[in-house]
């Protein structure tokens, strides 16, 4: 009845890559921790990326696992998964979900885009204290509240109220733009330019901010159409 859950350990540039097998999560986790204990000396002080495959993990489970791992003096820095839920959970816990930010060998077919990093779609409201960082574009379906921040290498689109801090083109891309249905941020940054929202006058309309002559300028979205 005991199915030996398969655990693969591989050395990679960033440390160790551990791939967990299928099966009930309880068993998989137990087998994995046992494995860690057996190889304690070898594992000590390692930086580990964990590939959990298809397992769908909630914050409590993943948090617990991370605690178990850190008790064994191993640092968990990334969780790879096929499940978007698990990826989201990992991101919530501040873990990476990809091994490398750029894979030069994978980006072989040359595209016209200077920024080949993947965009991410966030389907929730970002509340105070939440920090979202992505080397590519960021799209938020929801609000960005005061005290939350988004730092993106590319553009940022907020389908909702933008009241927090957004830095687009954080890598120095001056052609990056920031769009929001209601653009009322505490601060906007595009590449090296910083702007503060002026006092709101009247009703809010969708706006887009970009750099014109070195300054951040916000304009109503498609004003011509309304005439």
Which residue ranges make up the site for other proteins (CB under 8 A)? 58-60, 92, 125-130, 143, 145-147, 161, 163
C-beta of 146: minimal distance to other proteins in Å?
6
C-beta of 196: minimal distance to other proteins in Å?
16
Q: Kind of pairing, strands 15-20 and 75-80? A: unpaired
- Which residue, 153 or 164, is less far from other proteins as judged by CB? 164
- Which residue, 91 or 175, is less far from other proteins as judged by CB? 91
Residue pair 177/162 in contact by the 8 Å Cβ criterion = no
Residue from 88, 94, 142, 136 nearest 115 by CA: 136
C-beta of 5: minimal distance to other proteins in Å?
26
Phi, psi of 182 (to 5 degrees): -135, 105
- Which residue, 161 or 210, is less far from other proteins as judged by CB? 161
Residue pair 80/97 in contact by the 8 Å Cβ criterion = yes
C-beta of 174: minimal distance to other proteins in Å?
31
- Which residue, 54 or 92, is less far from other proteins as judged by CB? 92
Rounded distance between C-alpha atoms, residue 192 and residue 199, angstroms: 23
Adjacent-strand bridge partners of 133 = 151
């Amino acid at each position: 009845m005991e199915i030996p859950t398969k655990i693969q350990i591989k050395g990679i540039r960033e440390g160790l890559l551990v791939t967990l097998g299928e099966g009930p999560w309880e068993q998989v986790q137990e087998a994995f921790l046992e494995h860690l204990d057996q190889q304690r000396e070898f594992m000590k002080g390692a930086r580990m990326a964990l590939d959990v495959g298809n397992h769908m993990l909630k914050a409590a489970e993943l948090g617990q696992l991370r605690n178990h791992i850190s008790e064994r003096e191993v640092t968990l820095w990334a969780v790879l998964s096929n499940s978007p839920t698990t990826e989201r959970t990992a991101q919530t816990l501040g873990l990476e979900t990809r091994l490398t930010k750029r894979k030069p060998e994978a980006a072989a077919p040359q595209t016209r885009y200077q920024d080949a990093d993947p965009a991410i779609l966030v389907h929730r409201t970002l509340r105070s204290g939440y920090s979202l960082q992505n080397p590519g574009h960021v799209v938020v379906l929801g609000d960005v509240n005061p005290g939350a921040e988004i730092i993106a290498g590319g553009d940022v689109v907020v389908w909702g109220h933008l009241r927090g801090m957004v830095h687009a083109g954080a890598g120095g891309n001056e052609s990056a733009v920031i769009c929001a249905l209601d653009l009322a941020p505490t601060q906007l940054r595009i590449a090296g330019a910083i702007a503060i929202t002026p006092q709101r006058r009247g009703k809010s309309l969708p706006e887009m901010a970009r750099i014109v002559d070195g300054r951040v300028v916000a304009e109503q979205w498609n004003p011509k159409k309304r005439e």
